[in-house]
Chains A and B, each alone.
Chain A
Amino acid sequence: MSEERALQEDSFAEYEEQEDTQEGKYLTFRIGKEEYGIEIRYVTEIIGIQKVTDLPDTPEFVKGVINLRGKVIPVIDVRIRFEMPHRDYDERTCIVVVNINGTSVGLIVDSVSEVLDIPANDIEAPPKVNKGGGSRYIQGLGKVGESVKIILNIHRLLFEEELEQIIESLD
């Protein structure tokens, strides 16, 4: 029991440490001509595109489910979520598997770029203009050298369906 506990403590310490080192790190990926970033602590792995089993009667951006080593996880197509035009999957298409509060979800992106350190004071609040589409998923804009990475709010990206519907019904 103590062994276990010690182990847990260990892994907890490790986890905390990871938390520390993960602070300010973002995984960036490309969709269309822009680069997007999500906090690295949500990312569990990146896999190539694989066979997606269609799920009937789900929103269009939910592409279906995949078999991730015996676990069945849903995948969403970020392109469709952003209401961008469809593009065929190719060998650079990736599934970024994220885990939020125990729920694993795969995100289909055009290609994965790199892991970047973006200090908090290089991140600016998203613009106030609302052009619809995916703009409400923006958490901030990160300045990296000359370029700007769009940092996404993963919670909204995955779970904002209800809210979205409410907003629509208000309009």
Chain B
Amino acid sequence: MSYDGFSDAQEQRDILLGFVEEGREMLDEVEPLLIELEQTAEEQGAIDLEMVNTVFRLFHSLKGGAGFLDLQTISGVTHEAETLLDMFRKGKSQLTNFHIDLMNQACDFIRGLLEQIETTYHDRGREEKAAEIIDSLKQANLELKGETAVIVPPSAPSEDHSEDVPTEIDSSDIKAEESSIALDLESFQATMGPEIIKQFSGEAEEQLEKAEESLLALEQDPNNSEHIQQAFRAFHSFKGNSGFLGLRDMERLSHSAESVLEQFRAGGLTPSSKVINLILEIIDFLRNALSSLSSGKSADIPATPGLIHLLEDYSGANVSASSKTAPKLAAPTSDANPASEKLSAATSPSDAPPASIPGASSPETLPPAKKLSQPTQVPKRTKPEAPKREAVSALAPGGKNGQSKKATQRQSVRVDVEKLDVLLDLVGELVIAEAMVSQNPDIKSLGLPLERFEKAVMQLEKITRDLQDVATSIRMIPLSGTFRRMVRLVRDLSQKAGKRVEFTILGEETEVDKTVIEQITDPLIHIIRNSIDHGLETPDDRIATGKEPVGTLTLEAKYVGGEVWISVRDNGRGLNRERIVQRAMERGLFEGDPDDLRDDEVWQFVFQPGFSTAEKITDVSGRGVGMDVVRRNIENIRGRVDIRSWHGKGSEVILRLPLTLAIIDGMIIRVGKERYTMPITAIKESMQVRQNMVTETMEGQEILRIRNQLVPVVRLHQLFDIDTDVQNLEDGIITVVENEGRQVCLLVDELIGQQQVVIKGLTGFVGQHPCVSGCTILGDGDISLILDIAGIIGQSENQNGTVNSLQDTILETDAPVDSRT
């Protein structure tokens, strides 16, 4: 290869990649617009011409770029989409969901091609699929134009693809296409790199989540074609992606699910809970396959044939018939609208067995015997599910509240988390460097007037601060993803437990650090499971105690001060104080008069490891199953767990989380020559002490009497073995710190001041230190260790039995120290 040739090829690749990037941006812009168009068309019966124009322009420039680069498949598809849009632009035709769907399909397809271009630098190999899309777009076009429209197609530039495919596709042709696609897919699979898999599974995960959410909403509201569309689209893109990567089982499963949805959509089949349940099952299978794929294992789903068979059985549809073909697509064009109109016209109370409707409106042929089995399923499901409807439909996008949906739609970029971490690190360094410059002693020693310099520094400081805020906020993501996953959990659990639960989600837009989100999913599942299993009563029990038969469960997130509170609230029976106290005494966690205990002290017992697992108490009082795990997870991210309970009326578990993990409010203190940082949240108070407040035990343990409490003293200089002049308690500062209700007094030389510090971990080389949780770099470049208050308290208790026993006897309020060290 000559050098010149090489550089030419390189140049060509760069241009292609540039196009891919641009194309993606355009698609990102088009997709939300399409959805918005769909909504306005549905609600107002008219469309915003401005919006159509924008979409048109975007498709047009995409076509232009693709044509220039000789990407014929893309330019062919975009051309057809453009032609279709033109119809609406001229105001001649009515835009329907079906058209939007077609264009969404086109977008998905183009997206897939762009991805392919990234690795192969061409868009060939998927002509059949392209022809299929082009064909259905054309079909739609023709229908809109009426019979006179036969003239339209010839102007298309890339007709060479569509020529391969006759307008009337017979099934043998389809088979042939199928197999050639399969061949191509296999060759793709060979080139499937980890990068692609990562991207694929990220997207696929989202698609499955979307599908699940829509299905759940559909179950509540079987007449709402919007949900069907959503689920259909999600499955469709999933199918497209997995097909592209040659993941046959995933493709086949999602295809069969898609086909069933297609039938729902066309009105040929009623969304019964049985079928929906099965599709949800399939989602689970797909999820598992995805996760095994991301961990480098095979994504095969051995159960595929069985699942498809089941789906066929349930739906009476021939879902295994290979890929969605043009005739199938074309069928809904004529039927979808009347059908869905009929469906909504027939708005019976949505809980009524919907099986009566398809009989009237179903245009497709359905074995009637299969249909008969549905009504028996329906009542079974509606009982526990019905109460959830309100909350769920509020959740499901595309409902009546189009406004709120627009608000949450945003453009986003996928960025590697590592890059974000580097960015945060750099910003942290910038903050330090900025301080090093502005407070540089050299400048002060010049003895010059510094007015202009100081102005410049102030400007720099402001920008640095803003930059830091923005950088931190990048890592923040809304809780909605995590919260929505719980809808399914609540549904499944309440069904299993035979309880009726109305599940409400509030504040899902609340944003928290990505790491926080990763850490709270398991605790949330634990807590919700507890609430449904143990907190909420069965309908009969509830009626017996004079409550509504339907229990409520609320998942709420909100900002409180510098924290995010996530609470799980139910109106069940609450925690059983007597039983918890009794168990605590049995287990030797507590001695004395239980009446002295405050409620919140009693609730603390349930956090003891193994406190109630597999013991009878769980059946009575609930809570405790894995609550120690919950607390540990939450403490790992420097959060806390609070429990509130009202006997017979309900309970609430609150996770109190920091907004971010990267920065804490710290108090800088000095001991000898060293400066340490204490988390402000751990500090209760600081004071100077007088001699008469101090008591010294025989072992030399000093105890301070602070008002009515007796608190042991830990001398930091002794703990860390530092030389200091401050040897008397009266000469230094006493800082009272607290962790989980246990307190110690720390003796320090001086409080230097409060500031926000960027946390840096200590490298693994020096290992974990019980009293140090990390370190930070101060304004002058020096390193300050961050004290781990829980560790210091644990350490002091371990080293000195006195502290331990003293605390037990003096404070008498706390559960004895657990094994925390």
B762-A72 in contact (CB<8A):
yes
Question: Which of these binds chain A: B239-247, B691-699, B767-775?
Answer: B767-775
Query: B377 within 8 Å of A by Cβ?
Result: no
Residue-wise, chain B 13-26 has the 8 Å CB interface mask toward A (1 for contact) of 11001000000000
Per the bound structure, the CA–CA distance linking A42 and B783 in Å amounts to 25
B14-A67 in contact (CB<8A):
no
B765-A103 in contact (CB<8A):
yes
Given known pairs A6-B10, A70-B432, the reply for A56 and B769 (CB within 8 Å) is: yes
Per the bound structure, the CA–CA distance linking A62 and B269 in Å amounts to 72
Interface size on B, residues (CB 8 A): 35
Query: A86 within 8 Å of B by Cβ?
Result: no
Query: B522 within 8 Å of A by Cβ?
Result: no
Distance (Å) between the CB of B761 and the closest chain A CB? Answer: 8
A70-B777 in contact (CB<8A):
yes
Query: B719 within 8 Å of A by Cβ?
Result: yes
Query: A1 within 8 Å of B by Cβ?
Result: yes
Query: B732 within 8 Å of A by Cβ?
Result: no
Name, among B10, B761, B777, B784, the residue most crowded by chain A CB atoms within 10 Å (CB to CB): B777
Contacts of A158 in B (CB 8 A): 765
Per the bound structure, the CA–CA distance linking A158 and B766 in Å amounts to 10
B674-A54 in contact (CB<8A):
yes
Per the bound structure, the CA–CA distance linking A73 and B765 in Å amounts to 9
Given known pairs A54-B674, A65-B783, the reply for A74 and B765 (CB within 8 Å) is: yes
Per the bound structure, the CA–CA distance linking A67 and B767 in Å amounts to 18
Query: B425 within 8 Å of A by Cβ?
Result: yes
Per the bound structure, the CA–CA distance linking A105 and B760 in Å amounts to 16
A74-B13 in contact (CB<8A):
no
Given known pairs A62-B766, A73-B763, A103-B765, the reply for A1 and B118 (CB within 8 Å) is: yes
Query: B741 within 8 Å of A by Cβ?
Result: no
Residue-wise, chain B 415-437 has the 8 Å CB interface mask toward A (1 for contact) of 00000000001101100110000
Per the bound structure, the CA–CA distance linking A73 and B766 in Å amounts to 9
Kindly identify, within residues 20 to 78 of chain A, every residue whose CB is under 8 Å from any CB belonging to chain B. 51, 53-58, 62, 65-67, 69-74
Query: A168 within 8 Å of B by Cβ?
Result: no
Contacts of A69 in B (CB 8 A): 429
B769-A72 in contact (CB<8A):
no
B772-A56 in contact (CB<8A):
yes
Query: B721 within 8 Å of A by Cβ?
Result: yes
Distance (Å) between the CB of A32 and the closest chain B CB? Answer: 25
Contacts of A57 in B (CB 8 A): 769-771
Distance (Å) between the CB of A10 and the closest chain B CB? Answer: 12
A56-B783 in contact (CB<8A):
no
Interface size on A, residues (CB 8 A): 25
Per the bound structure, the CA–CA distance linking A103 and B766 in Å amounts to 11
Query: A104 within 8 Å of B by Cβ?
Result: yes
Closest to A4 in B: B17
Distance (Å) between the CB of B418 and the closest chain A CB? Answer: 13
B766-A53 in contact (CB<8A):
no
A103-B764 in contact (CB<8A):
yes
A2-B762 in contact (CB<8A):
no
Given known pairs A62-B766, A103-B765, A105-B765, the reply for A53 and B17 (CB within 8 Å) is: no
Query: A114 within 8 Å of B by Cβ?
Result: no
Query: A91 within 8 Å of B by Cβ?
Result: no
A55-B772 in contact (CB<8A):
yes
Contacts of B13 in A (CB 8 A): 2
Per the bound structure, the CA–CA distance linking A62 and B765 in Å amounts to 10
Query: B43 within 8 Å of A by Cβ?
Result: no
Contacts of B785 in A (CB 8 A): 53, 55
Query: B3 within 8 Å of A by Cβ?
Result: no
Per the bound structure, the CA–CA distance linking A103 and B722 in Å amounts to 28
Per the bound structure, the CA–CA distance linking A67 and B429 in Å amounts to 11
Contacts of A51 in B (CB 8 A): 782
Query: A3 within 8 Å of B by Cβ?
Result: yes
Per the bound structure, the CA–CA distance linking A67 and B784 in Å amounts to 10
Per the bound structure, the CA–CA distance linking A135 and B802 in Å amounts to 45
Contacts of B10 in A (CB 8 A): 2, 6
A56-B782 in contact (CB<8A):
no
Contacts of B425 in A (CB 8 A): 70
A3-B17 in contact (CB<8A):
yes
Known A53-B785, A56-B772; further 16 A-B contacts with Cβ < 8 A: A1-B118, A2-B14, A3-B14, A3-B17, A51-B782, A53-B783, A54-B674, A54-B720, A56-B771, A57-B770, A65-B762, A72-B761, A74-B762, A103-B764, A104-B763, A105-B765
The 8 closest A-B pairs by CB, nearest first: A70-B429, A53-B783, A56-B720, A74-B766, A2-B13, A74-B765, A72-B760, A67-B783
What are 29 contact pairs spanning A and B, CB under 8 A? A2-B13, A3-B14, A3-B17, A53-B782, A54-B720, A54-B722, A55-B766, A56-B719, A56-B769, A56-B772, A58-B766, A58-B767, A62-B766, A65-B783, A67-B777, A67-B781, A67-B783, A69-B429, A70-B426, A70-B428, A70-B433, A71-B760, A72-B777, A72-B783, A74-B765, A74-B766, A104-B763, A105-B765, A158-B765
